[in-house]
Homo-oligomer: A and B are copies of this chain.
Amino acid sequence: MGSKERIHRLKENTRGNILDAAHEIVKEEGWQALSMRKIADKIEYTAPIIYEYYANKEAILLELTKKGFMLLACRMKEAAAQHTDLDEQIEALWLAYWNFAFEEKEYYQLMFGVEVNCCIMDELLPAGTTPYDIAAVPIAKVMGIEDTEDDRVCTKYYTYWSIIHGLISINIVRKGTSDEINRQILKDAITGITRSLRN
């Protein structure tokens, strides 16, 4: 009776293949070029089969969004874990965010840029895995506040997030600006905001 499980495993496998195929297509041709028929081609099936695994195209994008957030959370946690000093933790974690946005540009675009997906970020993810959940901890500590949901923490978090997401968006859209200048802005802004946490 292990055949039931074998089949189940095969189905799970195909579910994953669909996601991988979609990601590949997007990396090669961009989000605009992603179509159900192309995904089907890549996994060597016909298009309607996909609807056996996902309700529709949007569901696939949502699942990819989720994967993106998971990946981002990993990178940020790893980066923070390599420092003990809180200021360094904050800088490292935001640098990881920055790097993720460009190394996994397709994910980042899906997560924040292109569409209105992901707006329900908080409901979508398990507790402790949103950027907020991760970043708010050291921020609150520096500010000497216990509750990470405190409005003052929230405000500072948004200040960080804004400048970084802003810089990223600008750089995705206009590829002109030099990397050195961007890094400079980023570091300046981060240390600047961090200093302001103590007032």
A residues near B (Cβ < 8 Å) are 112-116, 118-119, 121-122, 151, 154-155, 158-159, 161-170, 173-177, 181-182, 184-185, 188-189, 192-193, 196
Pair B192/A177 contact, Cβ less than 8 Å? no
Tell whether A162 pairs with B151 under 8 Å between CB atoms, given A121-B174, A174-B121, A192-B192.
no
Tell whether A119 pairs with B192 under 8 Å between CB atoms, given A163-B159, A165-B166, A181-B151.
no
Pair A185/B162 contact, Cβ less than 8 Å? yes
Residues of B within 8 A of A151 (CB): 181
A193 to B189, CA, bound (A): 9
Closest B residue to A167 using CB positions: B162
Residues of B within 8 A of A113 (CB): 113, 169
Residues of B within 8 A of A185 (CB): 155, 158-159, 162
Tell whether A118 pairs with B173 under 8 Å between CB atoms, given A113-B113, A155-B184, A185-B155.
yes
